[in-house]
Amino acid sequence: MRRLISRFLVDEAGATAIEYGLIVALMVVAVLGALSLFGAAGSGVISDAMTAVADAMSA
């Protein structure tokens, strides 16, 4: 039993997974923040592009 506990305390594989999880969580927060800041301007650009594509397809 002591061997199992000591092996569990020395194992760092779980710490690596937690670090990657934290990095992904911070990236998601950054992307959501950027989308909320630039969302209105971005939707105008996408709308203009879709209009241009629709006009090109109908002509």
User: What does pTM read for this prediction?
Assistant: 0.49
State pLDDT tens for residues 17-36. Answer: 788 889 999 999 999 888 88
pLDDT at residue 24, as a whole number: 93
Q: Torsion-angle region of residue 41: left (phi > 0), alpha (psi -120 to 50) or beta?
A: alpha
- Please provide the size of the chain in residues: 59
Distance CA 56, CA 52 (A): 6
Split at pLDDT 50, 70, 90, the class of 10 is confident
pLDDT at 58: 85
Kindly tell me if the per-residue pLDDT of 59 is higher than 90: no
Q: Please give the pLDDT value at position 42.
A: 67
**CA neighbours within 13 Å on the CB side: how many for 51?**
6
